[in-house]
Amino acid sequence: MKHFNYTFLLALLMSMVETKVSAHDIEVANADGVTIYYQWTNNKIELAVSYRGSSRSSYSNEYSGNVSIPQSVTYGGNTYPVTSIGAAAFSGCNGLTSVTIPSSVTSIFLSAFEGCSGLTSVTIPSSVTGIDEEVFHNCSSLTSVTIQEGVTSIGAAAFSGCNGLTSVTIPSSVTNISSYAFGGCSGLTSVVVEAGNSKYDSRNSCNAIIETESNTLIFGCKNTIIPSSVTNIGPYAFSGCSGLTSVTIPSSVTSIGYEAFKGCSGLTSVTIPSSVTSIGNYAFSGTAWFNNQSDGLVYAGKVAYKYKGTMPDGTNIVLNEGTIGIANGAFSGCSGLTSVTIPSSVTAIGSSAFSICSGLISVAIPSSVTSISDHTFNGCSGLTSVTIPSSVTSIGSSAFYDCI
Protein backbone atom coordinates (compact mmCIF):
# COMPACT_ATOMS: atom_id res chain seq x y z
CA MET A 1 0.00 0.00 0.00
CA LYS A 2 1.34 3.37 -0.93
CA HIS A 3 2.08 5.78 1.90
CA PHE A 4 -0.71 8.35 1.64
CA ASN A 5 -0.01 11.83 2.94
CA TYR A 6 -3.16 13.93 3.22
CA THR A 7 -1.22 17.13 3.84
CA PHE A 8 0.48 16.64 0.48
CA LEU A 9 -2.87 16.07 -1.20
CA LEU A 10 -4.25 19.29 0.27
CA ALA A 11 -1.26 21.21 -1.06
CA LEU A 12 -1.68 19.60 -4.47
CA LEU A 13 -5.37 20.44 -4.59
CA MET A 14 -4.65 24.04 -3.60
CA SER A 15 -2.07 24.35 -6.36
CA MET A 16 -4.71 23.22 -8.83
CA VAL A 17 -7.11 25.97 -7.82
CA GLU A 18 -5.15 28.67 -9.65
CA THR A 19 -5.52 26.85 -12.95
CA LYS A 20 -9.16 25.79 -12.56
CA VAL A 21 -10.50 29.36 -12.51
CA SER A 22 -8.82 32.36 -14.11
CA ALA A 23 -9.71 36.05 -14.31
CA HIS A 24 -13.33 37.08 -13.90
CA ASP A 25 -15.09 38.03 -17.13
CA ILE A 26 -17.80 40.38 -15.91
CA GLU A 27 -18.93 42.08 -12.71
CA VAL A 28 -22.51 42.97 -11.91
CA ALA A 29 -23.99 44.70 -8.87
CA ASN A 30 -27.05 43.18 -7.20
CA ALA A 31 -30.04 45.29 -6.33
CA ASP A 32 -28.64 45.54 -2.78
CA GLY A 33 -25.44 47.07 -4.15
CA VAL A 34 -23.19 44.01 -3.63
CA THR A 35 -20.95 43.42 -6.63
CA ILE A 36 -20.44 39.83 -7.72
CA TYR A 37 -17.77 38.69 -10.16
CA TYR A 38 -18.51 36.06 -12.80
CA GLN A 39 -16.97 33.85 -15.43
CA TRP A 40 -18.64 32.67 -18.61
CA THR A 41 -19.29 28.93 -18.79
CA ASN A 42 -20.94 26.53 -21.23
CA ASN A 43 -20.06 28.53 -24.35
CA LYS A 44 -21.04 31.82 -22.74
CA ILE A 45 -24.65 30.90 -22.06
CA GLU A 46 -24.21 30.40 -18.29
CA LEU A 47 -22.28 32.07 -15.46
CA ALA A 48 -20.14 30.85 -12.56
CA VAL A 49 -19.48 33.02 -9.51
CA SER A 50 -15.76 33.81 -9.43
CA TYR A 51 -13.24 35.92 -7.57
CA ARG A 52 -12.08 39.39 -8.55
CA GLY A 53 -8.94 39.73 -10.65
CA SER A 54 -6.66 37.30 -12.40
CA SER A 55 -6.03 34.98 -9.43
CA ARG A 56 -7.58 34.07 -6.09
CA SER A 57 -5.01 36.28 -4.36
CA SER A 58 -5.42 39.37 -6.55
CA TYR A 59 -7.78 40.93 -4.01
CA SER A 60 -8.59 40.12 -0.40
CA ASN A 61 -12.11 40.21 1.01
CA GLU A 62 -13.75 41.18 -2.28
CA TYR A 63 -16.82 39.62 -0.70
CA SER A 64 -17.91 40.58 2.82
CA GLY A 65 -21.03 40.71 4.95
CA ASN A 66 -24.13 39.06 3.52
CA VAL A 67 -23.93 37.93 -0.10
CA SER A 68 -27.01 36.77 -1.98
CA ILE A 69 -26.16 35.04 -5.25
CA PRO A 70 -28.86 35.74 -7.87
CA GLN A 71 -30.47 33.02 -9.96
CA SER A 72 -29.73 34.98 -13.10
CA VAL A 73 -27.86 38.09 -14.24
CA THR A 74 -28.79 40.58 -16.92
CA TYR A 75 -25.75 41.88 -18.79
CA GLY A 76 -25.51 43.60 -22.14
CA GLY A 77 -29.23 43.30 -22.65
CA ASN A 78 -29.25 39.52 -22.17
CA THR A 79 -30.10 37.36 -19.15
CA TYR A 80 -27.84 34.48 -18.10
CA PRO A 81 -28.46 31.83 -15.43
CA VAL A 82 -25.96 31.46 -12.58
CA THR A 83 -25.33 27.71 -12.46
CA SER A 84 -22.18 27.23 -10.41
CA ILE A 85 -19.81 28.64 -7.80
CA GLY A 86 -16.31 28.42 -9.21
CA ALA A 87 -13.14 27.15 -7.59
CA ALA A 88 -11.88 29.49 -4.84
CA ALA A 89 -14.62 32.02 -5.65
CA PHE A 90 -14.94 33.17 -2.00
CA SER A 91 -11.68 31.67 -0.74
CA GLY A 92 -10.07 33.64 2.10
CA CYS A 93 -12.89 36.18 2.36
CA ASN A 94 -12.78 36.45 6.15
CA GLY A 95 -15.40 39.22 6.16
CA LEU A 96 -18.05 37.02 4.57
CA THR A 97 -20.70 36.24 7.19
CA SER A 98 -23.49 34.62 5.19
CA VAL A 99 -24.23 33.49 1.67
CA THR A 100 -27.49 32.60 -0.05
CA ILE A 101 -27.14 29.99 -2.79
CA PRO A 102 -30.03 29.95 -5.30
CA SER A 103 -31.69 26.85 -6.75
CA SER A 104 -30.14 27.62 -10.15
CA VAL A 105 -26.73 26.52 -8.83
CA THR A 106 -25.94 22.86 -9.54
CA SER A 107 -22.21 22.68 -8.70
CA ILE A 108 -19.89 24.11 -6.04
CA PHE A 109 -16.27 23.67 -7.02
CA LEU A 110 -12.92 23.17 -5.28
CA SER A 111 -12.19 25.43 -2.27
CA ALA A 112 -15.09 27.75 -3.10
CA PHE A 113 -15.41 28.97 0.51
CA GLU A 114 -12.10 27.71 1.91
CA GLY A 115 -10.86 29.79 4.84
CA CYS A 116 -13.98 31.97 5.17
CA SER A 117 -13.51 32.22 8.93
CA GLY A 118 -16.47 34.58 9.41
CA LEU A 119 -19.04 32.37 7.68
CA THR A 120 -21.45 31.03 10.31
CA SER A 121 -24.13 29.11 8.44
CA VAL A 122 -24.88 27.79 4.99
CA THR A 123 -27.66 25.91 3.22
CA ILE A 124 -26.78 23.73 0.24
CA PRO A 125 -29.89 23.66 -1.98
CA SER A 126 -31.28 20.47 -3.48
CA SER A 127 -30.26 21.67 -6.96
CA VAL A 128 -26.59 21.10 -6.07
CA THR A 129 -25.58 17.55 -6.94
CA GLY A 130 -21.97 17.63 -5.75
CA ILE A 131 -19.91 19.44 -3.11
CA ASP A 132 -16.32 19.44 -4.38
CA GLU A 133 -13.07 18.99 -2.43
CA GLU A 134 -12.26 21.48 0.36
CA VAL A 135 -15.29 23.65 -0.39
CA PHE A 136 -15.66 24.75 3.27
CA HIS A 137 -12.20 23.74 4.48
CA ASN A 138 -11.19 25.73 7.60
CA CYS A 139 -14.42 27.70 7.87
CA SER A 140 -13.77 27.79 11.60
CA SER A 141 -16.91 29.77 12.57
CA LEU A 142 -19.32 27.61 10.59
CA THR A 143 -21.79 26.34 13.20
CA SER A 144 -24.65 25.23 11.00
CA VAL A 145 -24.79 23.50 7.64
CA THR A 146 -27.92 22.22 5.94
CA ILE A 147 -27.38 19.74 3.13
CA GLN A 148 -30.68 19.35 1.34
CA GLU A 149 -32.04 16.24 -0.35
CA GLY A 150 -30.65 16.07 -3.88
CA VAL A 151 -26.96 16.38 -3.04
CA THR A 152 -25.28 13.10 -4.06
CA SER A 153 -21.58 13.57 -3.25
CA ILE A 154 -19.39 15.26 -0.64
CA GLY A 155 -15.75 15.65 -1.68
CA ALA A 156 -12.52 15.05 0.18
CA ALA A 157 -11.97 17.49 3.07
CA ALA A 158 -15.14 19.36 2.07
CA PHE A 159 -15.81 20.44 5.67
CA SER A 160 -12.43 19.62 7.24
CA GLY A 161 -11.32 21.96 10.00
CA CYS A 162 -14.82 23.33 10.63
CA ASN A 163 -14.34 23.23 14.38
CA GLY A 164 -17.54 25.15 15.09
CA LEU A 165 -19.84 22.53 13.58
CA THR A 166 -21.82 20.71 16.26
CA SER A 167 -24.12 18.58 14.14
CA VAL A 168 -24.41 17.27 10.61
CA THR A 169 -27.22 15.44 8.86
CA ILE A 170 -26.52 13.47 5.69
CA PRO A 171 -29.60 13.27 3.43
CA SER A 172 -30.73 10.01 1.86
CA SER A 173 -29.62 11.19 -1.59
CA VAL A 174 -25.88 11.20 -0.72
CA THR A 175 -24.14 8.12 -2.16
CA ASN A 176 -20.50 9.21 -2.10
CA ILE A 177 -18.56 10.68 0.85
CA SER A 178 -14.82 11.02 0.23
CA SER A 179 -11.97 10.68 2.71
CA TYR A 180 -11.63 13.29 5.43
CA ALA A 181 -14.86 15.03 4.39
CA PHE A 182 -15.44 16.09 8.02
CA GLY A 183 -11.91 15.56 9.30
CA GLY A 184 -10.85 17.68 12.25
CA CYS A 185 -14.42 18.82 13.03
CA SER A 186 -13.68 18.49 16.73
CA GLY A 187 -16.89 20.19 17.88
CA LEU A 188 -19.26 17.65 16.33
CA THR A 189 -21.51 15.89 18.82
CA SER A 190 -24.27 14.67 16.51
CA VAL A 191 -23.86 12.82 13.20
CA VAL A 192 -26.97 11.45 11.51
CA VAL A 193 -27.62 9.74 8.19
CA GLU A 194 -31.27 10.04 7.21
CA ALA A 195 -33.34 6.90 6.82
CA GLY A 196 -33.63 5.60 3.28
CA ASN A 197 -30.01 6.23 2.30
CA SER A 198 -28.91 3.34 0.08
CA LYS A 199 -25.20 3.69 0.81
CA TYR A 200 -24.74 4.90 4.40
CA ASP A 201 -26.44 4.64 7.78
CA SER A 202 -26.17 5.69 11.43
CA ARG A 203 -27.50 2.49 12.94
CA ASN A 204 -28.44 2.35 16.61
CA SER A 205 -28.18 6.17 16.87
CA CYS A 206 -24.41 5.72 16.98
CA ASN A 207 -23.48 9.29 15.92
CA ALA A 208 -21.37 8.05 13.03
CA ILE A 209 -21.47 7.47 9.28
CA ILE A 210 -21.28 3.78 8.36
CA GLU A 211 -20.93 2.38 4.86
CA THR A 212 -23.78 -0.10 4.96
CA GLU A 213 -22.58 -2.82 2.58
CA SER A 214 -19.07 -3.16 4.00
CA ASN A 215 -20.00 -2.30 7.61
CA THR A 216 -17.17 0.23 7.62
CA LEU A 217 -17.34 3.21 9.96
CA ILE A 218 -16.03 6.05 7.79
CA PHE A 219 -16.61 8.98 10.13
CA GLY A 220 -17.22 9.38 13.85
CA CYS A 221 -17.27 12.11 16.48
CA LYS A 222 -16.59 12.39 20.20
CA ASN A 223 -20.05 11.00 21.03
CA THR A 224 -19.80 7.97 18.76
CA ILE A 225 -20.60 4.53 20.14
CA ILE A 226 -19.26 1.97 17.68
CA PRO A 227 -21.98 -0.61 16.97
CA SER A 228 -21.18 -4.30 17.36
CA SER A 229 -22.04 -4.86 13.68
CA VAL A 230 -19.14 -2.71 12.42
CA THR A 231 -16.28 -4.77 10.95
CA ASN A 232 -13.88 -2.02 9.84
CA ILE A 233 -12.91 1.45 11.03
CA GLY A 234 -11.94 3.39 7.93
CA PRO A 235 -9.00 5.73 7.26
CA TYR A 236 -9.27 9.11 9.04
CA ALA A 237 -12.54 8.00 10.71
CA PHE A 238 -11.84 9.94 13.94
CA SER A 239 -8.80 11.93 12.79
CA GLY A 240 -8.45 15.25 14.61
CA CYS A 241 -11.31 14.52 17.03
CA SER A 242 -9.60 16.17 19.98
CA GLY A 243 -12.65 15.83 22.25
CA LEU A 244 -12.65 12.03 22.08
CA THR A 245 -11.43 10.70 25.43
CA SER A 246 -12.10 6.98 25.25
CA VAL A 247 -13.01 4.38 22.66
CA THR A 248 -14.20 0.81 22.96
CA ILE A 249 -13.86 -1.18 19.75
CA PRO A 250 -16.26 -4.15 19.55
CA SER A 251 -15.11 -7.69 18.80
CA SER A 252 -16.74 -7.52 15.36
CA VAL A 253 -13.98 -5.18 14.12
CA THR A 254 -11.07 -6.76 12.26
CA SER A 255 -9.24 -3.71 10.85
CA ILE A 256 -8.44 -0.12 11.81
CA GLY A 257 -7.52 2.16 8.94
CA TYR A 258 -4.75 4.62 8.19
CA GLU A 259 -4.68 7.60 10.62
CA ALA A 260 -8.05 6.47 12.01
CA PHE A 261 -7.48 8.18 15.39
CA LYS A 262 -4.54 10.41 14.51
CA GLY A 263 -4.54 13.72 16.38
CA CYS A 264 -7.19 12.67 18.92
CA SER A 265 -5.14 14.44 21.56
CA GLY A 266 -7.58 13.77 24.40
CA LEU A 267 -7.84 10.02 23.77
CA THR A 268 -6.50 8.34 26.91
CA SER A 269 -8.37 5.04 27.00
CA VAL A 270 -8.38 2.53 24.12
CA THR A 271 -9.88 -0.94 24.18
CA ILE A 272 -8.99 -3.07 21.17
CA PRO A 273 -10.24 -6.68 20.92
CA SER A 274 -8.25 -9.66 19.71
CA SER A 275 -10.39 -9.76 16.56
CA VAL A 276 -8.38 -6.83 15.17
CA THR A 277 -5.61 -8.16 12.94
CA SER A 278 -4.81 -5.07 10.85
CA ILE A 279 -3.96 -1.55 12.02
CA GLY A 280 -2.99 1.14 9.51
CA ASN A 281 0.00 3.47 9.68
CA TYR A 282 -0.27 6.30 12.21
CA ALA A 283 -3.66 5.02 13.41
CA PHE A 284 -3.04 6.33 16.95
CA SER A 285 -0.35 8.93 16.24
CA GLY A 286 -0.72 12.06 18.36
CA THR A 287 -3.14 10.49 20.85
CA ALA A 288 -2.61 10.75 24.59
CA TRP A 289 -2.92 6.96 24.76
CA PHE A 290 0.10 6.45 22.50
CA ASN A 291 2.10 9.38 23.86
CA ASN A 292 1.75 8.01 27.41
CA GLN A 293 3.15 4.62 26.46
CA SER A 294 6.67 3.90 27.66
CA ASP A 295 9.45 3.45 25.10
CA GLY A 296 9.57 0.08 23.42
CA LEU A 297 7.04 -1.98 21.50
CA VAL A 298 3.44 -0.84 21.99
CA TYR A 299 0.66 -3.41 21.62
CA ALA A 300 -2.88 -2.56 20.58
CA GLY A 301 -4.95 -5.51 21.66
CA LYS A 302 -3.10 -8.52 20.24
CA VAL A 303 -1.45 -6.51 17.49
CA ALA A 304 2.16 -5.33 17.70
CA TYR A 305 1.29 -1.74 16.87
CA LYS A 306 4.41 0.42 16.92
CA TYR A 307 7.90 0.61 18.35
CA LYS A 308 8.06 3.87 20.31
CA GLY A 309 11.30 5.64 21.15
CA THR A 310 14.88 5.11 20.06
CA MET A 311 16.04 1.57 19.35
CA PRO A 312 19.69 0.93 20.18
CA ASP A 313 21.87 -1.03 17.76
CA GLY A 314 21.79 -4.78 18.23
CA THR A 315 18.23 -4.90 19.55
CA ASN A 316 16.52 -8.30 19.47
CA ILE A 317 12.72 -8.32 19.67
CA VAL A 318 10.67 -11.33 20.78
CA LEU A 319 6.97 -10.74 20.11
CA ASN A 320 4.56 -11.80 22.84
CA GLU A 321 3.01 -15.24 22.49
CA GLY A 322 -0.56 -14.80 21.34
CA THR A 323 0.25 -11.82 19.11
CA ILE A 324 -1.91 -12.21 16.00
CA GLY A 325 -0.79 -9.29 13.88
CA ILE A 326 2.06 -6.89 13.19
CA ALA A 327 0.70 -3.46 12.21
CA ASN A 328 1.61 -1.50 9.10
CA GLY A 329 4.95 0.24 9.70
CA ALA A 330 5.29 -1.26 13.21
CA PHE A 331 9.11 -1.33 13.06
CA SER A 332 9.62 0.93 10.04
CA GLY A 333 12.93 2.80 10.26
CA CYS A 334 14.19 0.83 13.28
CA SER A 335 17.75 0.55 11.98
CA GLY A 336 18.96 -0.87 15.30
CA LEU A 337 16.80 -3.98 15.01
CA THR A 338 19.01 -7.04 14.46
CA SER A 339 16.56 -9.88 14.84
CA VAL A 340 12.89 -10.50 15.53
CA THR A 341 11.17 -13.66 16.74
CA ILE A 342 7.65 -13.98 15.34
CA PRO A 343 5.42 -16.47 17.20
CA SER A 344 3.22 -18.98 15.36
CA SER A 345 0.14 -17.12 16.53
CA VAL A 346 0.85 -14.29 14.04
CA THR A 347 -1.34 -14.53 10.95
CA ALA A 348 -0.91 -11.05 9.46
CA ILE A 349 2.14 -8.83 8.88
CA GLY A 350 1.25 -5.32 7.71
CA SER A 351 2.73 -3.34 4.86
CA SER A 352 6.12 -1.72 5.55
CA ALA A 353 6.19 -3.50 8.91
CA PHE A 354 10.00 -3.83 8.78
CA SER A 355 10.85 -1.34 6.03
CA ILE A 356 14.25 0.37 6.29
CA CYS A 357 15.35 -1.88 9.15
CA SER A 358 18.88 -1.78 7.78
CA GLY A 359 20.33 -3.73 10.72
CA LEU A 360 17.97 -6.68 10.39
CA ILE A 361 20.06 -9.71 9.41
CA SER A 362 17.65 -12.64 9.32
CA VAL A 363 14.00 -13.39 9.85
CA ALA A 364 11.88 -16.55 9.96
CA ILE A 365 8.24 -16.20 8.99
CA PRO A 366 6.01 -18.77 10.73
CA SER A 367 3.70 -21.11 8.82
CA SER A 368 0.66 -19.31 10.26
CA VAL A 369 1.33 -16.45 7.82
CA THR A 370 -0.23 -16.77 4.35
CA SER A 371 0.86 -13.53 2.70
CA ILE A 372 3.68 -10.98 2.81
CA SER A 373 2.37 -7.46 2.31
CA ASP A 374 3.67 -4.63 0.12
CA HIS A 375 7.03 -3.14 1.21
CA THR A 376 7.23 -5.42 4.26
CA PHE A 377 11.05 -5.67 4.16
CA ASN A 378 11.68 -2.82 1.73
CA GLY A 379 15.11 -1.28 2.34
CA CYS A 380 16.37 -3.99 4.72
CA SER A 381 19.83 -3.69 3.23
CA GLY A 382 21.45 -5.94 5.86
CA LEU A 383 19.02 -8.81 5.42
CA THR A 384 20.98 -11.93 4.37
CA SER A 385 18.55 -14.71 5.24
CA VAL A 386 14.78 -15.07 5.17
CA THR A 387 12.69 -18.20 5.60
CA ILE A 388 9.37 -18.20 3.76
CA PRO A 389 7.11 -21.16 4.64
CA SER A 390 4.96 -23.04 2.14
CA SER A 391 1.86 -21.47 3.70
CA VAL A 392 2.67 -18.15 2.00
CA THR A 393 0.68 -17.85 -1.22
CA SER A 394 1.37 -14.21 -2.11
CA ILE A 395 4.21 -11.70 -1.83
CA GLY A 396 3.33 -8.04 -2.21
CA SER A 397 4.84 -5.28 -4.31
CA SER A 398 8.43 -4.31 -3.37
CA ALA A 399 8.25 -6.66 -0.37
CA PHE A 400 12.04 -7.22 -0.52
CA TYR A 401 13.02 -4.22 -2.63
CA ASP A 402 16.57 -2.96 -2.02
CA CYS A 403 17.53 -5.97 0.12
CA ILE A 404 20.94 -5.83 -1.50
List the domain boundaries for the chain. 1-185, 201-292, 302-404
Domain spanning 201-292 has what CATH number?
Answer: 3.80.10.10
3-state secondary structure the chain: CCCCCHHHHHHHHHHHHHHHCCCCCEEEECCCCCEEEEEEECCCCEEEEECCCCCCCCCCCCCCEEEECCCEEEECCEEEEEEEECCCCCCCCCCEEEEECCCCCCEECCCCCCCCCCCCEEEECCCCCEECCCCCCCCCCCCEEEECECECEECCCCCCCCCCCCEEEECCCCCEECCCCCCCCCCCCEEEECCCCCCEECHHHCCEEEECCCCEEEEECCCCCCCCCCCEECCCCCCCCCCCCEEECCCCCCEECCCCCCCCCCCCEEECCCCCCEECCCCCCCCHHHHCCCCEEEEECCEEEEEECCCCCCEEEECCCCCCEECCCCCCCCCCEEEEECCCCCCEECCCCCCCCCCCCEEECCCCCCEECCCCCCCCCCCCEEECCCCCCEECCCCCCCCC
Q: What is residue 60's predicted lDDT score, i.e. its pLDDT?
A: 87
Q: What is residue 22's predicted lDDT score, i.e. its pLDDT?
A: 59
Q: What is residue 258's predicted lDDT score, i.e. its pLDDT?
A: 95
Over its length of 404 residues, how does the chain's per-residue pLDDT go in tens digits? Answer: 333 454 444 554 444 444 344 579 999 999 999 999 999 999 999 999 999 998 888 888 999 999 999 999 999 999 999 999 999 999 999 999 999 999 999 999 999 999 999 999 999 999 999 999 999 999 999 999 999 999 999 999 999 999 999 999 999 999 999 999 999 999 999 999 999 999 999 999 999 999 999 999 999 999 999 999 999 999 999 999 999 999 999 999 999 999 999 999 999 999 999 999 999 999 999 999 999 999 999 999 999 999 999 999 999 999 999 999 999 999 999 999 999 999 999 999 999 999 999 999 999 999 999 999 999 999 999 999 999 999 999 999 999 999 99
User: What superfamily would CATH give domain 302-404?
Assistant: Ribonuclease Inhibitor (3.80.10.10)
Instruction: Give pTM, 2 decimals.
Output: 0.88
Choosing among 3.30.420.10, 3.80.10.10, 3.40.50.200, 3.20.20.140, the CATH entry for 1-185 is 3.80.10.10
| Contact by Cβ (8 Å): 361, 380 | no
Residue 258 to residue 245: CA distance in whole angstroms: 19
Q: What is residue 252's predicted lDDT score, i.e. its pLDDT?
A: 98
Equal CATH topology for 1-185 and 201-292: yes
